[in-house]
Chains A and B, each alone.
Chain A
Amino acid sequence: MVNKKIGKELNEEEGKRGWLRLPLPFLLVFPAIFVLSIVILYPLISSSFLSLFHYELTKPNEIEFNLLTNYKNMLHDDTFWLAFKNTLIFTGVSVVVSLVIGLIGAIAIDQLPERFAGLRGVVLVPWIIPGVVVGFLFMLIFDVEVGIANVILKHAGIIKEFLPWLMDEHLAMIAVIVANIWNQVPFYILMFTAGLKAIPMDVKEAAIVEGASRWQEFIHVTLPYLRGILVITSLLMVIRNFNNFPIIYTMTGGGPVFSTTTLVIYIYRLAFEQFNLGYASAVGIVWCAVLLIVSMIYVKMLYKQVHG
């Protein structure tokens, strides 16, 4: 009897120890996984489910399972394809131009004497301003009547009459891209500045000793060292710009007509202005799928960079 009791106690103790033997990393990441499952996984599954239904909030008695009809309708939805195209334009131009300006800015800042170190902090200001505020700021800048953009351009003789930037189907996209570039260039400057600092001095000195010109140094020394940052940062900004809502919505609401409507704007309008939750969910799933592909590329590049 005593031996049985002792044996039982030992088994119970081993059980407790077994539970405590769970890998520490798992225990530490559990809170994050728990939160992600609530705020990401559940909405994703819910949206996937909704995307299979004809579901309009204003017609609660007409909810109908329609399998892939929403996705089929998407193929013939001109506004969807326009939004997709706008998203590509907005994202592509923003990333490329921001990257170039950011790189130039980083190189310029890197050349600054140490006494101008404080300027680096000032450069970051546009990045920390919330998107909504940036939107309002540039909405005023591009206002047809009192916007400073028109005043400057007219004064410089570039335009003869004030342009309705936010109400011209071609100019509106330019305006929101300009605002977005202004907002995110500092991020590139920050990243490239860090990258420039990481370039070994002996490599630079060797290039100088070998008689390399500034341009040759940039092409053969600076750029190769920054390639990883360039790719990683750009992919990250593609993801960010695919999701950019506040600047566009604040400035133009996706207009005029739908000329600045991106996928995220379109989804918002479908869901909360037209109450078409089923179709909005379907568009959202497609949008997530595109982002997932980009994210996978990002993770792969990041992994390659870390592990060589």
Chain B
Amino acid sequence: MLKKKWVPLTLVLVLVAMILTACGGGSSGQKSSDSQGTVEITFVNWATAEEATKQQMLDVIKEFEKQNPGIKVKNVPIPVGEQLNQLTIMTTGGNAPDIAQVHFDVGISLAAMGALEPNDNLLSKEFLDDVNKKLYDFGMYEGKHYLIPWVGHPLGFWYNKKLLQQAGLDPNNPPQTIDELTKAMEIIKQKLPNDVVPLQIDTTIRTLGLSHEWSFMSAFGTVPVDGDKVQANKMGPYAEWLRMLVQKGYTLPGKKFGEFRPLAAQNRLVFGFDGPSFKGIVQSFDKSITDEKFYETWGVTTLPVGADKKPYSAPDDHNLAIFKASKHKEAAAKFAEFLARSDFSIKTYVIPLGFLPTVQSAVQRFPKEFSDPARKAFIEKIVPAEVRLPYGPNYSKIATVVMAGMQEVITTNKPIPEILNNVQTKLEGIINGK
């Protein structure tokens, strides 16, 4: 009788033990130090999530581990578009990585949450003396520095010389103004096949969407938020232009800017607005495109200007953030410096993929590699045109409201003033903390 009664109790205890074991099993995956003094740092990134950059990044990680036997890097790939969500979930769930690849907007948002460690005291003097000051300053939040510049990726105006020539336009003289751009697209639409897309522009409701459109907005003279000043209701000219782009088929609505890249590889995109990695990515889609062939087709310059005659470029640069919860911040900082400054990383990752270095000495160390036409244009013209967006605790909300408004512009026939007034009201509420 006793044995019979013990059976269910034993069964229950076994089940509970199994559950507790399963719940506690996650701890084995957490970063740790082994008995030989080796530390493991978790590196969340999209470089190893994208086919075009995966192998190069893995090679760099492997080399870092080889040069630093006491540090192991646990690689965690995530899609670039999910960095904000993934890192937020990881952080709030108590599973923050040690270091992560982030864009400025994501990094500053994480800093505002208190998730990141200020890194001024973690970086070496050599690195601080060498890093690009402009990009370094972009990573500041409330007087502290949180983002370590890794690779430069400002957005530049790529133009397809072959398609321009086919359309009867000067292949070596791309549009210099927004008006010229609009006129060129009109001609392109008339002269070239329907499957050719004139312009790459991101119209998604994402922070990346706002980052991509910010430069165009700036060219029209008014951005939705400037400090504490909300001026969405003055963006009528830009909104009208955006609606026209879609109505006349000058761009594909609702596409992420990355989704235009395959079209570029297929020689179906005329004007791209993308970073220096555009070349490497296009070549990854079509292996037959050599450097020579690429430059025969593509040139790059600053975005066409508006009335103020100033070019603008939104920073799509890639940064590295060290998390406050990290127990190995020094190791993470060492890894960050290796990624951004080491010869191996620059030769293996930065140069082949078309990125820009964020340390000034790189050009001196690799003068030949950084003298190609595209990179020269980026370094000499486009980087100086970079402007900081209103990164901060409200940036995600701002992006959602603005881009929802822009989507409303291109997907409905609502009067644009009505749409912009609605955006204005919502933005004022955000800025004023309502």
**CB-CB nearest in chain A for B404:** A257
Residues of B within 8 Å of A254, CB to CB, are 205
Cα A58 to Cα B207 in complex, Å, equals: 15
Residues of B within 8 Å of A258, CB to CB, are 404
Interface hit among B2-10, B34-42, B352-360: B2-10
Interface flag for B112 (CB, 8 Å): yes
Residues of A within 8 Å of B408, CB to CB, are 257
Interface hit among B11-19, B129-137, B283-291, B369-377: B11-19
Residues of B within 8 Å of A57, CB to CB, are 88, 92, 113
Cα A273 to Cα B206 in complex, Å, equals: 9
- The reply to whether A27 and B8 form a contact with Cβ atoms under 8 Å apart is yes
Q: Given A31-B19, A57-B113, A253-B204, are A272 and B253 neighbors across the interface (CB < 8 Å)?
A: no
Q: Given A56-B393, A273-B84, are A20 and B11 neighbors across the interface (CB < 8 Å)?
A: no
Interface flag for A9 (CB, 8 Å): no
Interface flag for B407 (CB, 8 Å): yes
Residues of A within 8 Å of B342, CB to CB, are none
Residues of B within 8 Å of A75, CB to CB, are none
Residues of A within 8 Å of B8, CB to CB, are 24, 27-28
Residues of A within 8 Å of B252, CB to CB, are 144-145
- The reply to whether B11 and A28 form a contact with Cβ atoms under 8 Å apart is yes
Interface hit among B155-163, B380-388, B394-402: B394-402
A interface residues, tally (CB under 8 Å): 34
- The reply to whether B412 and A58 form a contact with Cβ atoms under 8 Å apart is no
Cα A28 to Cα B10 in complex, Å, equals: 10
Kindly state the interface size class of chain B when it binds its partner.
Answer: 35 or more
Interface flag for B128 (CB, 8 Å): no
Interface flag for B45 (CB, 8 Å): no
Interface flag for A207 (CB, 8 Å): no
- CB-contacts of A12-68 with B (<8 A): 20-21, 24, 27-28, 30-31, 34-35, 38, 56-60
Cα A34 to Cα B12 in complex, Å, equals: 11
Residues of B within 8 Å of A59, CB to CB, are 112, 393
For the complex formed, measure the closest distance between the CB of B237 and the CB atoms of chain A, giving whole angstroms: 21
**CB-CB nearest in chain A for B89:** A272
- The reply to whether B393 and A28 form a contact with Cβ atoms under 8 Å apart is no
Cα A274 to Cα B396 in complex, Å, equals: 5
Q: Mark A251-263, 1 if CB is under 8 A from B, else 0.
A: 0011111100000
Interface flag for B432 (CB, 8 Å): no
Cα A194 to Cα B77 in complex, Å, equals: 44
Residues of B within 8 Å of A255, CB to CB, are 204-205, 254, 407
- The reply to whether A58 and B85 form a contact with Cβ atoms under 8 Å apart is no
Interface flag for A166 (CB, 8 Å): yes
- CB-contacts of B271-315 with A (<8 A): none
| Choice from B12, B113, B204, B253 contacting A60 with Cβ under 8 Å | B113
Interface flag for A167 (CB, 8 Å): yes
Cα A57 to Cα B91 in complex, Å, equals: 10
Q: Given A256-B411, A258-B404, are A30 and B12 neighbors across the interface (CB < 8 Å)?
A: yes
Interface flag for A269 (CB, 8 Å): yes
**CB-CB nearest in chain A for B17:** A31
- The reply to whether B16 and A31 form a contact with Cβ atoms under 8 Å apart is yes
- CB-contacts of A90-122 with B (<8 A): none
- The reply to whether B113 and A256 form a contact with Cβ atoms under 8 Å apart is no
Cα A276 to Cα B401 in complex, Å, equals: 14
Cα A255 to Cα B410 in complex, Å, equals: 12
Residues of A within 8 Å of B84, CB to CB, are 272-273
Q: Given A58-B393, A272-B88, are A168 and B109 neighbors across the interface (CB < 8 Å)?
A: no
Q: Given A56-B393, A57-B88, A164-B253, are A273 and B400 neighbors across the interface (CB < 8 Å)?
A: yes
Residues of B within 8 Å of A225, CB to CB, are none
For the complex formed, measure the closest distance between the CB of B406 and the CB atoms of chain A, giving whole angstroms: 9
Interface flag for B114 (CB, 8 Å): yes
Interface flag for A217 (CB, 8 Å): no
Q: Mark A137-166, 1 if CB is under 8 A from B, else 0.
A: 000000011000000000000000000101
Interface flag for B195 (CB, 8 Å): yes
Residues of A within 8 Å of B407, CB to CB, are 255-257
For the complex formed, measure the closest distance between the CB of A238 and the CB atoms of chain B, giving whole angstroms: 27
For the complex formed, measure the closest distance between the CB of A179 and the CB atoms of chain B, giving whole angstroms: 16
**CB-CB nearest in chain A for B6:** A20
Cα A37 to Cα B352 in complex, Å, equals: 52
Q: Mark B77-115, 1 if CB is under 8 A from A, else 0.
A: 000000011001100100000000000000001001110
For the complex formed, measure the closest distance between the CB of A273 and the CB atoms of chain B, giving whole angstroms: 6
**CB-CB nearest in chain B for A258:** B404
**CB-CB nearest in chain A for B112:** A58
Q: Mark B230-259, 1 if CB is under 8 A from A, else 0.
A: 000000000000000000000011100000
For the complex formed, measure the closest distance between the CB of B45 and the CB atoms of chain A, giving whole angstroms: 19
- The reply to whether B205 and A253 form a contact with Cβ atoms under 8 Å apart is yes
Residues of A within 8 Å of B195, CB to CB, are 145
Residues of A within 8 Å of B89, CB to CB, are 272
For the complex formed, measure the closest distance between the CB of A160 and the CB atoms of chain B, giving whole angstroms: 13
Report A's interface with B, CB cutoff 8 A: 20-21, 24, 27-28, 30-31, 34-35, 38, 56-60, 144-145, 164, 166-169, 253-258, 269, 272-276
Other than the known A58-B392, A167-B410, A257-B407, what 15 A-B pairs have Cβ atoms closer than 8 Å? Answer: A27-B11, A27-B12, A31-B19, A34-B16, A34-B19, A58-B113, A59-B112, A60-B114, A169-B411, A253-B206, A269-B400, A273-B84, A274-B396, A275-B88, A275-B396
**13 A-B contact pairs sorted by A residue (CB < 8 Å):** A20-B6, A21-B5, A27-B12, A28-B11, A28-B12, A30-B16, A57-B113, A58-B396, A60-B113, A145-B195, A169-B411, A253-B205, A272-B89
Q: In the A-B complex, list the 8 residue pairs whose CB atoms are closest, starting with the nearest.
A: A58-B393, A167-B254, A58-B112, A31-B15, A167-B253, A256-B411, A272-B85, A20-B5
